Homo-oligomer: A and B are copies of this chain.
Amino acid sequence: MAARRQPDPNWEQSVRQSFARQGFMGLIGAQIEGLAPGHCILALPARPDLGQQRGFLHGGVTAALADTAGGYAAYSLMPAGSSPLTVEFKINLLAPALGERFVASAKVVRAGRTLTIVEADVTAETGGVSTPIARMLATLICLENTPDQPEQAAGRAV
């Protein structure tokens, strides 16, 4: 286990610019609510077109919010010029997701040179009451010398 490299001194700007490039976070209306080294909180207002067949928040949206919060918690500790990539995540959906808005709060469990382990809790908020709806445990890889931006090659974008 080699020593970790120095985190990007401009980590907060890097995280915010990367988040702003995420087309999907824009589509669902998620926003950054809190950032600190090794931590990231995202918030998502409820909308009918984010639901599954019974009107609960779709489990895939819950997972996307948790995965993204986890990704930026990890990225905040990575060196400049690198890019985070989710290797895998596991999420337990604890209760039906009903609420006015949803909040994913992620933190780094272990930051290694190559791999970072993160966890995230997702809650549903209604009238000021917060209910846990999901817990995630994930692994990310730090791609060194890989700018966290789209490649120029035409046709490679989604």
Contact = CB atoms under 8 A, between A and B. Distances in A.
Interface of A: 1, 18-19, 21-28, 46-61, 63-65, 67-68, 83, 85-99, 109-110, 114-115, 117, 119, 132, 135, 137, 139, 141, 148-151, 156-158
A88 B90 contact: yes
Nearest to A70: B59
Contacts of A22: 51-53, 58
Given A88-B88, A119-B135, A137-B92, A59 B52 contact: no
Copies of this chain per assembly: 4
Contacts of A87: 87, 92-93, 115, 139
A92 B139 CA distance: 8
